[in-house]
Chains A and B, each alone.
Chain A
Amino acid sequence: MSQHQATPVGGKMMTPTVRILLFIFLVGLALIIWRFAVGLGPATGLSDGYPWGIWIAFDVVTGTALACGGYAIALLVYIFNKGKYHPLVRPALLTSALGYTVAAVGIIIDVGRPWFIWRIPISVGKWNLDSALLEVALCVMAYVMVLWIELSPAFLEKWKDSRHTGLANFSRGLSTFMDKALIWFIALGMLLPTMHQSSLGSVIMLAGPRLHPLWHTPWLPFLFLISCLGMGYAVVVMESTLSSRAFGRRREDKMLASLSGVISVVLFLYVAFRLGDLLVRGRGPLMAGEGMLSVMFWLEIALFLVPAIMLAGSRGRARIGTLFRAALMIILGGALYRFDAYLVAFNPGPGWSYFPSVPEILMTLGLVALEILVFILLVKSFPILSGTSPMAAGSKQGVNT
């Protein structure tokens, strides 16, 4: 039982890794301030032909899919009642909460008039219910809050024992309430991603004739939804493997092995739907002969299919190296699918091109650095990760991270 108990990792905060991440973040922050001073034109490679670039394709569309670990694991633990995955829930929720928060920040940087964003949730009478993007915006706003609420027991657990009596009493009171109410937040935490991860597929579906027919299909919402589940599980595998190494935690190999059986099924399903849909609608011939786009298409399929096969047999699953490589491929595959749908296969017509500007890339890196930075700081101070060997806390391994 003790290995299921989440505990803070502890150890020094200002490690060299943290310093480097902080530096990358500060560079990004300075550029973000500059972007608001000069406007989007000088700061980015965006144009009227390619109005969306890596901030949308990576920070928002791919970033939130990678942040589906919390969603994917919660689905297993609470709906399919697989309690054995429970130790994976908190770290998955933390990566999700951070991923979505960073995506929300990315949106604020990307839109031209962020000072009007508050009008979206309150302008109920003006909501355009045809707009998939409206649905995404409302869901993401709500989900960021829900994720932090879902994670709140980790904070309350620590604050309950705070020397500050006010904080301790508040935390105890809130804990009692949360014990009862949490289930309904968790349900919301599964409903909202189901809605907006599929809607991210609908969003680019509206590009219609400008999106290449290998990607444009009425099944876009469904394909986005199941691929985000695969990506969510893959991130949990990665995060668990990396944390166990970085913080000297006991590895959760067995759990990850049986989890990857689930991943394999999800991936096969994605590939079957993707190919089946194209064949049924007579778009099979496009799979070859569309030059670079056909190559990208098969690369995507391979990045889903190969890990699906790797994880299909119990022998592959048992090896942590295989698991890790498979997870990496799924993440790349899911990211490529989203990049292709939002950028590569999007054709605004002749004369337009897009490549992200250096500041655009640095701002994205800054946000990613912030995400990892906060993850490290929070798992060190709050009970997020399970299976600590008490030796590890504050040991050299811990300090190194």
Chain B
Amino acid sequence: MDRNRRSFLKGLACAGATVAASAVPAAASDRREAPADAVGMLYDATMCIGCKTCVVACHEANDLPPDNRGDALYDAPQSLNDRTKNIIKLYQGEGRRSYVKQQCMHCVDPACVGACMIGALQKREYGIVTWDSNRCIGCRYCQVACPYNIPKFEWDSTNPRIIKCEMCNHRLADGKEPACCEVCPREAVIFGKYTDLLAEAKNRLAANPDRYVDKIFGEFDGGGTQVIYLSHVPFEDLGLPQLGEEAVPKMNRTIQHGLYKGMIAPAALYVAMGAVMLRNRRAGGHDEGDES
């Protein structure tokens, strides 16, 4: 029994060491940058008046049916859902209130893309995260992974799709802006090249330091997002998560790539186990007649 236990422990210790050893070298920085052609949106909460014109325009531009499930008279979604890719919400904190716009953040290093098995969700042209119906089996891992709770699922459909903002990429092809940016009467949300928008946000912060919380949300958060935010109230109050600067999928990537790089570790383990079994069999360790 003692030998048995010792050899078993040794085996487990080896397995643990393999995990640790292979994960460590891969832990070197692999921070991803936005692609050179990246576009994005800048939402300035101090300028938004909560008119929700962008919500209606988004429904129209994306052929989504109006969400009148709460009240049959109005297109009034309660939150992002299977008919709503963009929404304006009101947050009432202590003292100051603020509107906030929610839609896909188009992360520089998105968790949903890391999750998706055969690349239904991917960063495609302009760094926009889009969904390809031909590659989706409806597993909803993207919903589990997204720290912003963005991808929505058509729960009432027998052939459900994932619904999320794709930055009106069908309009971009015609040289138009995303619908929400085009219709905003206050230019609270603007569309542009990602680098230009970052520069613009920095200018606004520098020009009016008293007006804003001193931070551009999305510049570094969760590895960076192509939709960035300025606000006069703390970003947590707007429902934006505190993610730190590391991209959400990075830990997974480090471990997956460490363990499965070139499939060397699994192949080695396979051959080793086969070899041990062959040796055991030759040594006549136990009855051969009853192999299974």
Q: Which residues of A contact B (CB under 8 A)?
A: 4-6, 36-42, 46-49, 51-52, 76-84, 86, 89-90, 93, 110-114, 116-117, 119-120, 123, 126-135, 137, 150-154, 178-179, 182-184, 186-188, 190-191, 194-195, 198, 202-210, 218, 221-222, 225-226, 258, 261-262, 265-266, 269, 346, 348-349, 351
Does B118 lie within 8 Å of A265, measured CB to CB?
no
Residue of B151, B153, B242, B273 ringed by the most chain A CB atoms within 10 A:
B273
Does A184 lie within 8 Å of B118, measured CB to CB?
no
Interface residues on B, range: 35 or more
Contact string against A for B residues 1-41, beta-carbon threshold 8 Å, 1 for contact and 0 otherwise: 10011011101100110010001000000000000000000
Which of A116, A128, A187, A208 has a CB less than 8 Å from the CB of B248? A208
Cα–Cα, bound, A90→B277 (Å): 18
Chain A residues whose CB sits within 8 angstroms of the CB of B243 once the complex forms: 208-209
Chain B residues whose CB sits within 8 angstroms of the CB of A221 once the complex forms: 19, 255, 259
Cα–Cα, bound, A218→B259 (Å): 13
B65 within 8 A of A: no
Q: How many A-B residue pairs have CB under 8 A?
A: 237
Does B252 lie within 8 Å of A86, measured CB to CB?
no
A394 to chain B: closest CB distance in Å? 24
Q: A48-B153, A133-B115 are in contact. List 11 more A-B contacts (CB 8 A).
A: A86-B287, A111-B137, A112-B136, A119-B135, A131-B141, A187-B277, A198-B19, A205-B255, A261-B5, A262-B8, A346-B144
Contact status of A182 and B292, CB under 8 A, knowing A36-B158, A41-B155, A208-B248: yes
List 5 A–B pairs whose Cβ atoms lie within 8 Å, in order of A's numbering: A48-B81, A48-B153, A130-B257, A186-B277, A187-B274
Contact string against A for B residues 240-275, beta-carbon threshold 8 Å, 1 for contact and 0 otherwise: 011100001101111111011000001001100110
B208 within 8 A of A: no
Does B286 lie within 8 Å of A83, measured CB to CB?
yes
The residue in chain A whose Cβ has the minimal distance to the Cβ of B114 is A130
Contact string against A for B residues 129-141, beta-carbon threshold 8 Å, 1 for contact and 0 otherwise: 0000011111111
The residue in chain A whose Cβ has the minimal distance to the Cβ of B252 is A206
Does A4 lie within 8 Å of B137, measured CB to CB?
no
B59 within 8 A of A: no
B203 within 8 A of A: no
The residue in chain B whose Cβ has the minimal distance to the Cβ of A139 is B266
Does B147 lie within 8 Å of A208, measured CB to CB?
yes
B92 to chain A: closest CB distance in Å? 14
> What 3 pairs between A and B have smallest CB-CB spacing?
A83-B286, A112-B138, A41-B155
The residue in chain A whose Cβ has the minimal distance to the Cβ of B239 is A349
B64 within 8 A of A: no
Does A133 lie within 8 Å of B16, measured CB to CB?
no
A271 to chain B: closest CB distance in Å? 14
Chain B residues whose CB sits within 8 angstroms of the CB of A90 once the complex forms: 292
Which of A51, A123, A137, A179 has a CB less than 8 Å from the CB of B135? A123
Contact status of A83 and B285, CB under 8 A, knowing A48-B153, A202-B255, A209-B147: yes
Residue of A110, A198, A206 ringed by the most chain B CB atoms within 10 A:
A206
Contact status of A151 and B8, CB under 8 A, knowing A47-B155, A51-B140: no
Does B249 lie within 8 Å of A206, measured CB to CB?
yes
The residue in chain A whose Cβ has the minimal distance to the Cβ of B122 is A128
B94 within 8 A of A: no
B195 within 8 A of A: no
Chain B residues whose CB sits within 8 angstroms of the CB of A261 once the complex forms: 1, 4-5
Chain A residues whose CB sits within 8 angstroms of the CB of B16 once the complex forms: 222
Contact status of A187 and B273, CB under 8 A, knowing A83-B287, A222-B19: yes
